[in-house]
Amino acid sequence: MRTACRIAATVLDRLCRLVAPGVNTYDLDQEGRKLLGSYDARSACFGYQVGSKRFPAYTCLSVNDEIVHGIGTLKRVLQDGDIISVDVCVEYQGFIGDNARTVAVGDIAPARQKLLTVTEEALLKGIQQARPGNRVGAISNAVERAVRPFGYGIIRDFVGHGVGRSMHEAPQIPNFGPASRGERLRPGMTLAIEPMIAEGRSQVVMADDGWTALTVDGLPAAHFEHTVLVTGGDPEILTIPDSGI
Ligand code: MF3
Ligand code: CO
pLDDT tens readout for residues 74-120:
999 999 999 999 999 999 999 999 999 999 999 999 999 999 999 99
Do residues 136 and 185 lie in contact, with contact meaning Cβ atoms separated by under 8 Å?
yes
H/E element, 164: none
pLDDT for residue 243: 76
Which alpha helices (H) appear in the chain, and where do they start and end?
2-18, 25-38, 110-128, 136-147
Rounded mean pLDDT, 206-221: 98
Q: Give the residue extent of every domain in the chain.
A: 2-237
Query: 87 CB under 6 A from ligand 1?
Result: yes
Do residues 162 and 194 lie in contact, with contact meaning Cβ atoms separated by under 8 Å?
no
Distance 23 CA to ligand 2 centre (A): 25
Within 13 Å and on the Cβ side, how many CA atoms surround 88?
A: 31
Say which DSSP state 149 is in.
G
% of the chain residues with pLDDT over 70 = 99
CA angle 109, 114, 115 (to 5 degrees): 100
Q: Name the residue with the closest Cα to ligand 1, atom 8.
A: 45
Do residues 229 and 238 lie in contact, with contact meaning Cβ atoms separated by under 8 Å?
yes
Query: 60 CB under 6 A from ligand 1?
Result: yes
- Ligand 1 atom with least separation from CA of 69: 12
Query: 96 CB under 6 A from ligand 1?
Result: no
Rounded mean pLDDT, 149-167: 98
Question: What span, in angstroms and rounded, lies between the C-alpha atoms of 71 and 66?
Answer: 10
Rounded mean pLDDT, 16-38: 98
Rounded mean pLDDT, 158-186: 98
pLDDT for residue 108: 98
pLDDT for residue 5: 98
Three-class SS of residue 228? strand
Question: What span, in angstroms and rounded, lies between the C-alpha atoms of 72 and 10?
Answer: 20
Asked if residue 245 has pLDDT above 70, the reply is no
- Ligand 1 atom with least separation from CA of 160: 4
CA angle 46, 12, 83 (to 5 degrees): 95
Asked if residue 244 has pLDDT above 60, the reply is no
The pick from 25, 45, 90, 101 for probing ligand 1's pocket by mutation, whose C-beta has the most ligand atoms within 8 angstroms, reads 45
Rounded mean pLDDT, 152-179: 98
Query: 57 CB under 6 A from ligand 1?
Result: no
Query: 58 CB under 6 A from ligand 1?
Result: no
Rounded mean pLDDT, 226-233: 98
Rounded mean pLDDT, 1-11: 98
CATH number listed for the domain at residues 2-237 = 3.90.230.10
Q: Name the residue with the closest Cα to ligand 1, atom 10.
A: 45
Backbone Cα Rg of the chain? 17
Rounded mean pLDDT, 71-75: 98
pTM (2 d.p.): 0.98
Rounded mean pLDDT, 209-236: 98
